Structure formats: structure tokens, C-alpha cells
Amino acid sequence: MEFELNKLIRENIKNLKPYSSARHEFVGNAAVSLDANENPYGSPLPESFNRYPDPLQWQVKFQLARIKGVPAENIFVGNGSDEVIDLAFRIFCNPQKDNVIICPPTYGMFEVSANINDVNIKKVNLLPGFQLDVEGVLNAVDANTKILFICSPNNPTGNNMNREDVEVLLNNFPGIIIIDEAYINYSNQKTFIQELTEYPNLIVMQTLSKAWGLAALRLGLCYASMDIIDVFNKVKPPYNVNKASQQLAVDALANTTQVNDWIKEVVAQKEMLIKELAAFSFIGYVYPSDANFFLMKVKDADKLYKYLSDNGVIVRNRSNEVNCENCLRVTIGTPNENQQLINLLKNYE
């Protein structure tokens, strides 16, 4: 089908005149900057933070472009992935009129952000193996359906979505498809970033919070066509990513070797941990995982969760999620942390 981005964007967003910051209006190196009402004397910190940051985070994007093989112009950097999600709602969805489709169990902020923006939600639950119900999704589409959210590897279940199913949806869904790849670094599945030129309705989200270990910096990444990125830049706050986060991200992105070593260690620790869990009778099943965590079904999730937390080990109780009754989600820790978990489980019951 022919994709027309303009038909999906809200009229007020198409007509929006974006805020023009001082850093937007001048490009180059200024000898004297008297345009942004900044303190000219510096700051009380060793590092100088008295000047506003690059509003488009070009140095971060250049590093990402080098790593991902995608032009910097196809990248948006947000204040966490939550900003990317929120901007998508504000760009494409008219409150109280339009709707989005989510596939529970999935990342909770899709629903929270929809509620904040007063956008209707259609839920098409994942199939028993936690795969997409392609037919169900397409049957749920109506004239006001704007976005489909897919999480792969999925949170909280940990599994990749079947690639062929996603491709069917990309070819047949009439709106925007946002694929959240927050955990893709731990997966053997290829990212969908390389498919951007083939699917103009595709937005791929990634993050520096997981494998890159920069959760405290709040840096969410969005890859899409230049037309979509232009709209995100039009709607975002002028300085949505601070200078400290930008500088530290550039430094971190120069050290892919360390990150790759950590990824290998996490995957090895996950395999070890899952093997150890097979010995415990109160653990019924550990679901296959392509992420840095796994979901396990236990006899009594509330009881086991309380036992672990009372002994200083915190996991996530996901029993309130669809098809996740009596399930705990466990993040892979350091070898020492993982061993503490195993030792506690040996003394349970």
C-alpha cells in the first residue's frame, strides 16, 4: 500500500511554527555569544555548563551513525525513550478521537503515555507463545488507528517477535509501526534499523540505558525516515538533552569494545543462571529469552517475591500482566549478584 505520512500527522502539528532557539538561528563558531541570555562567567562546576547545549545533539548522532550505519539525519535523540513515545502520541494522535494498538504483555509506558495523551487503546494480546497475533492486529484496525507498538525483544517476556510476522504488519498496517528494540544488543535477531528505506511507516526505538549502561543519563534513540525525524525535531522541546548527557554519551559511544565484552558476559551469566534454576521444584518454567532478563513461572510469585525482597534481592513481580500469572522477571546481574540469588533460592521453602 502507498504510505502517506501527511495524512497521519495531526493538523495542528502540521501547522505548528516551532520554537526557534538561539542555537538554531546561528550555525558556526561565534567569537562572542550575546544571544541566549546566558551567564557569561561560567558555572560553579569544574566543567563549563553556562552555555546551552546543541539542540540537535549532532556529535552524539555522528557517533551513532558510525556504529549503526545509518545517516545522522535519520536519528532522533530523546530524553529517554519515554520522550520518544510521548512525542509520537502528540504528533500522530488526536485526543479522544484516534487510537493505538498495543500487544500485552508489553512495555507499560505505551499504555501510560496513551492515557496521559487521552488516546484510545486497543489491546490485541500476544498469542500463548508470546508471539504477535497478526490477524488480530489487522482486524483491530479502523479509520482512526494511528500507531502499532511492538516490543522486540519483548518486555516482560524477553523473546523476539517473529520477523516474518513483523514484516507482514509493516506491509499491511495503515499507520505508523514503532518497534521498541531496547534490548536488541542482547539478541541474535537483526535490528530493523536497516529496513528504514524499505518501510517509510517504520520507527525503531533503541536506548543507551541497557547494554550501554547509561540509564542515569536518560538517552532514548529513535531511527526513522528524514521526514518523520523532521517532525520529531519540530515538536520536541528546544534543548531536550542536556550537555552533560551529550558529552558522556559521545565518550561512551567511542568504547564499543567494553560494551561488547559486557554483553557477552551477561549472555553467559544468563545461560548459567537458567541452568541452575532447573534444579528448583518451585520454578515451573523459564521462558526463552533474547534479552538481559528472563521471565519465570513459579508456584507462588507473591510468596517468592516477598522472600527475596526480605533478604535484599529485588526482582519484578509480573503476575498482574496478561498471561503472566505467577511470573517473576529476573534481570541478569554480576556473577556475585547472580550467585546471591541462587544461594537464597536454595534456602527457600
Same domain flag for 265 and 121 = no
Cell numbers 513481580 label which residue?
A: 317
Number of domains in the chain: 2
Distance of CA 276 to the CA centre of its chain: 30
CA proximity to 55, closest of 25, 83, 34, 31: 25
Last residue of a domain, one of 193, 228, 254: 254
Percentage of the chain surpassing pLDDT 70? 98
Fill in the amino acid letter for 163.
R
Same domain flag for 65 and 144 = yes
- The region of weakest confidence among 45-54, 251-260, 268-277 is 45-54
What's the number of CA atoms in the CB half-sphere (13 Å) around residue 179?
29
User: Which pLDDT score, from 0 to 100, does residue 36 have?
Assistant: 87
- Structural domain of 289: 257-346
Estimate the share of the chain in helix, then strand, then coil, as percent rounded to the nearest 5.
40, 15, 45
Give the confidence band of 1 by pLDDT, cuts at 50, 70, 90: low
Phi, psi of 219 (to 5 degrees): -130, 105
Give the confidence band of 235 by pLDDT, cuts at 50, 70, 90: very high
pLDDT, tens digit, 9 for 90 and up, residues 201-225: 999 999 999 999 999 999 999 999 9
CA distance 340 to 346: 10
CA angle 52, 58, 59 (to 5 degrees): 95
Mean pLDDT of the 78-90 span = 98
pLDDT, tens digit, 9 for 90 and up, residues 242-251: 999 999 999 9
Same domain flag for 231 and 132 = yes
First to last CA, the chain: 58
- DSSP code for 318: -
User: Which pLDDT score, from 0 to 100, does residue 301 have?
Assistant: 98
Same domain flag for 126 and 248 = yes
Fill in the amino acid letter for 346.
K
pLDDT, tens digit, 9 for 90 and up, residues 6-25: 999 999 999 999 988 877 77
Same domain flag for 60 and 83 = yes
Q: What is the torsional sign of CA 159, 197, 236, 117? A: negative
Instruction: Yes or no: say if 155 and 291 are a contact pair by the CB < 8 Å rule.
Output: yes
Instruction: Yes or no: say if 333 and 315 are a contact pair by the CB < 8 Å rule.
Output: no
Phi, psi of 314 (to 5 degrees): -105, 125
Instruction: Yes or no: say if 311 and 344 are a contact pair by the CB < 8 Å rule.
Output: yes
Mean pLDDT of the 140-160 span = 98
Same domain flag for 229 and 287 = no
- CATH number, domain of 78, equals 3.40.640.10
CB atoms within 10 A of CB 110: 24
Mean pLDDT of the 76-86 span = 98
Share the mean pLDDT of the chain.
95
CA proximity to 328, closest of 347, 345, 349, 340: 345
Residue 282 has pLDDT above 70, yes or no: yes
Mean pLDDT of the 288-303 span = 98
User: Which pLDDT score, from 0 to 100, does residue 91 have?
Assistant: 98
Instruction: Yes or no: say if 82 and 52 are a contact pair by the CB < 8 Å rule.
Output: no
Same domain flag for 123 and 187 = yes
Same domain flag for 73 and 153 = yes
Give the confidence band of 2 by pLDDT, cuts at 50, 70, 90: confident
Give the confidence band of 341 by pLDDT, cuts at 50, 70, 90: very high
Q: Order of strands, edge to edge, in the sheet holding 293-298?
A: 283-286, 293-298, 327-331, 316-317
Percentage of the chain surpassing pLDDT 90? 90
Distant-in-sequence, close-in-space partners of 223: CB < 8 Å, separation ≥ 6: 68, 70, 74, 75, 76, 193, 196, 203, 204, 205, 206
Same domain flag for 203 and 330 = no
Last residue of a domain, one of 203, 225, 254: 254
Which stretches of the chain are assigned E, i.e. beta strand?
75-79, 99-102, 120-123, 145-151, 176-180, 202-207, 219-223, 283-286, 293-298, 316-317, 327-331
CA proximity to 269, closest of 341, 214, 215: 341
- DSSP code for 215: G
User: Which pLDDT score, from 0 to 100, does residue 11 have?
Assistant: 96
Give the confidence band of 150 by pLDDT, cuts at 50, 70, 90: very high
Same domain flag for 267 and 250 = no
pLDDT, tens digit, 9 for 90 and up, residues 170-205: 999 999 999 999 999 999 999 999 999 999 999 999
330: left (phi > 0), else alpha (psi -120 to 50), else beta?
A: beta
- DSSP code for 18: -
Last residue of a domain, one of 254, 276, 308: 254
Complete DSSP assignment for 162-176: PHHHHHHHHHH-SSE
Same domain flag for 36 and 96 = yes
- The region of weakest confidence among 27-36, 139-148, 310-319 is 27-36
Between 47 and 286, name the one with better pLDDT. 286
Q: What is the torsional sign of CA 216, 217, 223, 225? A: positive
Same domain flag for 212 and 230 = yes
